[in-house]
């Protein structure tokens, strides 16, 4: 089964827009799990413009599926993850002023740093993933960091697929194959949606988890969270049930 982790950053954005606590991130996370989500993802940034660091602590005791915290491993983020001890930490090299994640790690240039961070998290029993472009040389280098998994950055796939270019999947297939051969698990995320998720899941081997937030929340405005969560789960695992 391919797991669906729902990123609740957009819920926090909506909450923060009114300066109150509605919608409540914890309540939404509880409901999403009841509706079938296999995990909850948050991506706190230093300015706390959507998810706040306190949200991580508030979610810690109610996420009974898998809790994934994404972010750039600056000292403040590392301290947060070590205090909360989620199921998984996903390392993302986003700049402080980035609107959203826009690139994967250069695991060759930053290998020493990543190895140090990955080692610390793994010593604390936290599964690690590194956010990566589908670049075979950098995926090969990721192995030396000791990471448990990679997370494929799928924005380029989504943009090309929307234009009808199905060959956009090829680098992701090759990347997943190499990662699996090297003993790393495969996650994916960014701009995956109901329009492209089934094709992606059918084509990319060894896929274990996808993290989806923006598209899922936007689609849920029309269709409702319960319907959308289960639509994703159906499309992710349709081929395995045939």
Active site residues: 43, 70, 190
End-to-end CA gap in the chain? 13
Distance in angstroms (rounded) separating the CA atoms of residues 71 and 77: 7
Whether the upstream peptide bond of residue 49 has omega within 30° of 0, thus cis, is: no
**Nearest by Cα to 185 from 204, 164, 200:** 204
**Nearest by Cα to 32 from 233, 199, 192:** 233
Q: Residues 6 or more apart from 119 whose CB is under 8 A from it?
A: 146
């Amino acid at each position: 089964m391919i797991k669906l982790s729902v990123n609740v950053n957009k819920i926090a954005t909506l909450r923060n827009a009114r300066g109150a606590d509605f919608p409540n991130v914890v309540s939404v996370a509880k409901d999403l799990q009841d509706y079938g989500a296999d995990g909850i993802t948050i991506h706190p940034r230093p300015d706390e413009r959507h998810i706040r660091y306190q949200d991580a602590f508030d979610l810690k005791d109610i996420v009974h599926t898998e809790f994934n915290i994404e972010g750039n491993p600056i000292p403040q983020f590392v301290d947060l993850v070590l205090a909360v001890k989620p199921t998984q930490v996903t390392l993302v090299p986003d700049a402080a002023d980035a609107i959203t994640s826009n690139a994967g790690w250069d695991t060759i240039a930053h290998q020493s740093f990543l190895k140090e961070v990955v080692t610390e998290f793994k010593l604390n029993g936290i599964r690690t993933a590194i956010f990566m472009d589908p670049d075979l040389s950098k995926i090969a280098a990721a192995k030396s960091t000791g990471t448990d998994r990679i997370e494929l950055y799928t924005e380029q796939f989504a943009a090309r697929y929307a234009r009808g270019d199905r060959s956009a999947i090829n680098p992701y297939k090759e990347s997943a194959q190499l990662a699996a051969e090297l003993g790393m698990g495969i996650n994916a995320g960014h701009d995956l949606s109901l329009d492209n998720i089934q094709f992606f899941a059918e084509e990319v081997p060894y896929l274990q988890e996808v993290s989806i937030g923006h598209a899922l929340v936007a689609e849920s405005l029309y269709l409702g969270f319960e319907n959308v969560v289960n639509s994703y789960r159906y499309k992710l695992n349709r081929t395995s049930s045939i």
